[in-house]
Each structure stands twice: as structure tokens, then as C-alpha cells.
Amino acid sequence: MVVLLVAFPLFAVAIVNLPPLARRARLASSVSATFALWQICLALAISPSFWRSGWLSAFWHAHGGIDNLARVMFLAVGIVGLASLLVAAGTITDVRQRFHFANLLLLAMAGMNGMSMASDLFSLYLFLEATGAVAFVLIVLHRQRDTPAGGFKYMVLPTVASVILLAAIAIFLMLFGTLDFLVLGRALAARTAPRFLVLLATGLLCAGLCLKSGLAPFHGWLLDAYSSAPSAASVLLAGIVTKAAGVYALIRVATTVFAAPILFDATRDILLAVGALSMAGAALAALGENDFKRMLAYSSISQVGYIAIGVAAGNAVGLAGAIFHLFNHAVFNSLLFVNAAAVEAQTGKRDMRELGGLAERMPWTGATSAIASLSTAGIPPFAGFWSKLLIIIGVWQAGHAWHALLAIIVNVITIAYFVYWQRRVFFGKILHDIENVREADDRLVAASCLLTAITVANGILAPWCFGTFLVPIEGIL
């Protein structure tokens, strides 16, 4: 059944292109929504033993690769895919473009599911590149005035990352003759290869994945990609694509291939450095932004920095927090971009200085934005609090007290810029030229309510999440 997570979207794309154009858009959207719902149910309902059973493990050569970490990714991909489809239905008026988006969403989900099931570096690389190609088309889908710059940066800089990744993969293959995660990890632990080449390949692989993740100082492409992409594509990109293409791959590689002490020490130093720079630098940059989509892009970079230092902690608490924050961030970041799409669609503005008082006219958008902001800022009892708390505890236990302190300070800065976002956009006196604004399309409100419910439930049901997906840590990796 797990094979269908990749095979079904590819087959569906071929099928939905057969009917006449008038029927294609509705069929493609229905098929995409059905697949996303089925994937969510599958990730929640099926036990880890099923993913590792008999022919399934043999087919994928998984060796334990279909684990709880993969299940977390399946769940996140399904949820964000469904939300982006609702946003597309509410913001894309052209039938042909809506049809194209549904097709591209299926292809992107196939690529991300393939990444989650990959058990070797080359398979991971292939699915990563396939997802990246789809993401580039999504960015330039509407051919608006500012999309060429964002699309160009997304094409150039992640392509540089692809070359770096391929070089690292080639070095590992020449040294050890294998790219399987676990076999390669054991070979690296044996220390039979020249140390310089091993560290070179390790550094290249980490640099390539950090660039794919949009971590500072490799983040330049991400700002324009998020802000210039169509609203539905922004939700998908910010919510899950960069998490799957960079952050998930970074967690998987760091904890399997680089598990040996000498390599994990080098990886840890890289992740601590880029994580701290991403957290603090992006949070400070967000304080000075007036374009709310760029502010949310900086916030996304900052939150990924938390995940990086959680992985660098190298202990069960930090890793559990990083994985939980990966999922939480996919949900509340998608929610923020859904509401940004709603505000932009209703007002035609993105400059916070030209907005104000929208909570009175858009109560659902205002309320759900407040909850997403509180979760991002790590305020209890919302989901972001628990994952950030685990990361800070894990980093502290690992002996990186300064990084733990920095994470707390950055969280205060996060509160500051989200208070600014709420006050300037949703509170205060409404401006004359937007006083006739009404609540967003019902489908955008539905996406906001769905993501808000998950954010609140994740906070309240955090013990269940830990028991199901995160504890014991051996169930993840």
C-alpha cells in the first residue's frame, strides 16, 4: 500500500489529463483532495510494523527507513497539500491554472513522499530534484510581474546546492561503494577512508542541504520565492516543500549517515553555527520588514534554525523536539501564509503600514492568525511551545548553554514581531480605503480553521503525540 504514495499521484496525473478541459479542473482538484485525505488517514492509522513488513521493506530496500519520522512527513505533506488545494480553489479564478496547480500538487506530493521513503543518498537526491523542479513551476505559474526574480533565484541557488550534493554523493560512492544510509553509516564509523575526503564530503552534503533548507547564510533565494509565488504555491512551499527538501533530509542524514562521533561532531558544529545565525539573524530582519509575506519568510528561516540546533544537540530530547517542531512549523507556518493570502486577496495590499483594523471585517482570519502567531512564538498551551521547550532542554543537556539562551532570547524577538504584525494588520483603526473589506472566501477560511484546529489539538494532545510518534526515540530512527 505504501507504494501507492508515490505511484498513485503519478498515475492520477496521467488520468486527469484525459477528459475534456471543462471537466479536468474539477476532476484534478477532487483527485488531489482525495489523495491528500487518504494519505493523512494512512499516516495516522497504520502501525510502524506495517511499514517495515516483508515485501514492503524488500521493495523499498528500506531497512527500517519507513519509520515514525517518515510517518510524520507523510502526515505533514497530506495536511499542507490539502490546505494549499483549498487556497488554490479560493484564489485561482482561471480554470486552466487551477487544473495546472492540482497536477503540480500531485507531482510535488509524490516527490516528497519518495524522499520520506528513500533509504539511500541517491534516491533521496532524485526525489529531491524532482520536487524542486515542480516547485520552480509553481513559483512562476501565474507569470506575474515579480515572479521572474523569485523563480530565477529558486532555479539558480538550489541548483548550486544540487551540484554540491552530487559532488558529496560521488565522493562517498568512490570511497565506500555504497550510498545506503545505514551501510554507509557503518562504513564511516569504521574510519577506513581518508579523513580529509570524508570530512570534505560531509561538509559538502551539509552545505547543500542547508542551502535547500534556506538556512542562513544560504537563505537569499527563499525570501523572493515565498513572497513572489502565487498564494497557494506559497502555502505549499513555506509549509512543507522546503521542510521535506532540506530539513527532513538534514535530520535523516545527520542521524543515520553521520551517526559516528567524529562525523557527528563536525555536523554538529555546522548545524549549531547555521542554526544560531538563522534563528537570530532572521528574527532581527523580520523586525524591520513591512511586507508581511517577507516577514513570514524571515520567520520561517528563524524557526528552521530551532530545528537545526535541536538536531545538533545529538540527544533524544533535542531530536524529538526537532521532529515535533518540524511538524508544528509545517502546520502553523502554512496557517500564517493562508491568512496572508486571505489578507492580500481581500485588500490587494502586503505593506503592513497600509493596513489595520481587519479583525473587525475579517474575524476568522484575525482569530486564526492570532493563534498561529502565539504558536510560532512558543506561547503555551499551543503546539509550538512544547517543541521549542524540548529543543531548548535538549540543547541545554548537550552542554550548549549559550545556544539554549539564544533560543530563549530569539523567542522574545519572535513575540515582538508577531505582536507588530497583529497590531498593524488586524487591530487599531481601519483605514478608509479598506473599510469595505469582507471576510475571505469560505475555502480560505476552511483551510485556516483546519490548520488552527491541528495547532490547538497538537498543543493539548502533546503527550499523545509523544507517545505515538516521538517516544521512545528508537521508534523514530
* CB-based contact 273:309 (threshold 8 Å): no
Task: Go through 238-248 and write b for each residue having 16 or more CB atoms within 10 A of its CB, e for each that does not.
Answer: bbbbbbbbbbb
**Beta-carbon neighbour count of residue 189 at 10 Å?**
14
Query: CA 226, CA 214: separation in Å to the nearest integer?
Result: 11
Query: CA 128, CA 73: separation in Å to the nearest integer?
Result: 14
Is there a cis peptide before residue 48, judged by omega within 30 degrees of 0? no
Indicate the residue type of 203: G
> Cell numbers at residue 470, please?
516521538
List, in sequence order, every residue forming a beta bridge with 351; answer none if it has no partner.
Answer: 291
Average pLDDT over residues 437-458: 89
Nearest Cα to Cα of residue 405 among 395, 414, 413: 395
Q: Tell me the pLDDT of the chain averaged across its residues.
A: 83
Query: CA 32, CA 83: separation in Å to the nearest integer?
Result: 11
Q: Provide the 8-state DSSP code for 120.
A: B
Q: CB under 8 Å to 354, separation ≥6 — which residues?
A: 431, 434
Q: Give the lowest-confidence range in 281-295, 438-452, 453-467.
A: 453-467
Average pLDDT over residues 46-70: 54
Average pLDDT over residues 63-77: 76
Question: In this prediction, what percent of the chain has a pLDDT beyond 70?
Answer: 88
Average pLDDT over residues 452-462: 87
Indicate the residue type of 202: T
> Cell numbers at residue 114, please?
519518495
127-161 pLDDT, tens digit each: 998 888 888 888 877 665 555 555 666 677 777 88
Indicate the residue type of 416: A
283-330 pLDDT, tens digit each: 999 888 888 888 998 999 999 999 999 988 888 888 888 988 999 999
Residue 195 CA to its chain's centroid (Å)? 33
395-412 pLDDT, tens digit each: 999 888 999 999 999 999
Average pLDDT over residues 233-238: 87
Nearest Cα to Cα of residue 35 among 123, 119, 109: 109
User: 414 pLDDT band (50/70/90 cuts)?
Assistant: very high
> Cell numbers at residue 75, please?
502526515
* CB-based contact 451:338 (threshold 8 Å): yes
Average pLDDT over residues 451-465: 84
- Write down the pLDDT at residue 270: 85
- Write down the pLDDT at residue 276: 92
Handedness of CA 442, 76, 467, 372 (dihedral sign): negative
Alpha helices in 229-362 (DSSP H): 231-236, 242, 249-256, 261-287, 292-313, 316-347, 358-361
Residue 147: φ, ψ to 5°: -75, -30
pLDDT over threshold 60, residue 61: no
Instruction: Supply the DSSP string of 267-282, one letter for each residue.
Output: HHHHHHHHHHHHHHHH
* CB-based contact 210:274 (threshold 8 Å): yes
Residues in the chain: 477
Residue bearing the bigger pLDDT, 331 or 65: 331
- Write down the pLDDT at residue 28: 85
Whole-number Cα distances in Å, 44 to 21, 40, 210, 381 = 35, 6, 29, 23
Query: CA 322, CA 390: separation in Å to the nearest integer?
Result: 8
Query: CA 19, CA 40: separation in Å to the nearest integer?
Result: 28
> Cell numbers at residue 449, please?
480553521
81-139 pLDDT, tens digit each: 999 999 988 888 888 888 888 899 999 999 999 988 888 899 899 999 888 888 888 88
Query: CA 86, CA 32: separation in Å to the nearest integer?
Result: 11
- Write down the pLDDT at residue 452: 93
pLDDT over threshold 60, residue 60: no
* CB-based contact 140:151 (threshold 8 Å): yes
